[in-house]
Amino acid sequence: MKILLTGFEPFGGSLVNPSAELVRALAGQRIDHVDLHTALLPVTSDGGPAMLLQAIESVKPDIVLCLGQAGGRSTLSLERVAINLLDFSMPDNAGKNMTDEPIIADGPAAYFATLPVRLLLTAIRKAGVPAELSLTAGAYLCNQVLYTALHHVAVNALPIRVGFMHVPSLPEQVVDRPGPSMGLETMIAGVRAALRSLA
C-alpha cells in the first residue's frame, strides 16, 4: 500500500511542529505492508496546498494522510470533514491573513474525509494511544490542505483515499503556557497503528 504522509513546518512562533517531527521519525521506520512516502508542507496558504498536490502527482499514492498540530487538544484527532472556508486565526508564515474566503470559489461547501476513520480510531486506541473523531478541522492550513486534496481527487476521479489527523502539542511546547500535550513516542505509536491498519 503506497501511503503519502505529510506534516507541516513550525508556525505561530514555535520552533517545532509535532506533525513534522512525526513525519521525520516515521520516514526512517519500517512498517509492514506500507510503502511510505513523506512530505513537509510550508504553513502558507499558497505553498502548502500546492506542495501537497505536487506530492500527490509525483507519488501517485493509494492513500494520503496529512498530519497537523492542534494546540489545546489532548488526543489524536481524526478529522471527518473539510469545509470550503479560509478564516485564519493568525497570519500564515508568509504573513498572509484570510477572512471568510472560499478555498475553491466554485467548490462544494464541504467534503467528507474518505479514509475509514472508525477503523483508524479502533487501531489507534488498541495501541494504547488516546484518539477521537473530530468534526472540526478548523479554517486554517490544516483544513485547507484536506479540502484541497479531497477536491483534487474528486474532480479528477482519482482512486485515492484522503484523510487528516490532528496531533497535540509536544510537552516542550507547553512548558511556559501549560496545556494538553502528548509525548512524541506515544504519537508515533498511534500513527504507526493507523498506517498499519490502512495497509
So which residues are the catalytic ones? Answer: 79, 142, 166
What distance in Å separates the CA atoms of residue 105 and residue 118, rounded to the nearest whole number? 31
Report d(CA 175, CA 170) in Å as an integer.
9
- Which three cell numbers, joined as nine digits, stand for 122? 479502533
Q: Spell 131-169 as b/e; 16+ CB within 10 A means b.
A: beebeebbbbbbbbbbbbbbbbbeeeeeebbbbbbbbbb
Q: In a 3-state reduction of DSSP, which class is residue 190?
A: helix
Which residue type sits at 63? I
DSSP 85: -
Instruction: Please enumerate in sequence order all residues whose Cβ is within 8 A of that of 39, keeping only pairs 6 or more positions apart, or say none.
Output: 4, 5, 6, 7, 23, 51, 52, 55
Number of H helices, E strands in the chain: 5, 8
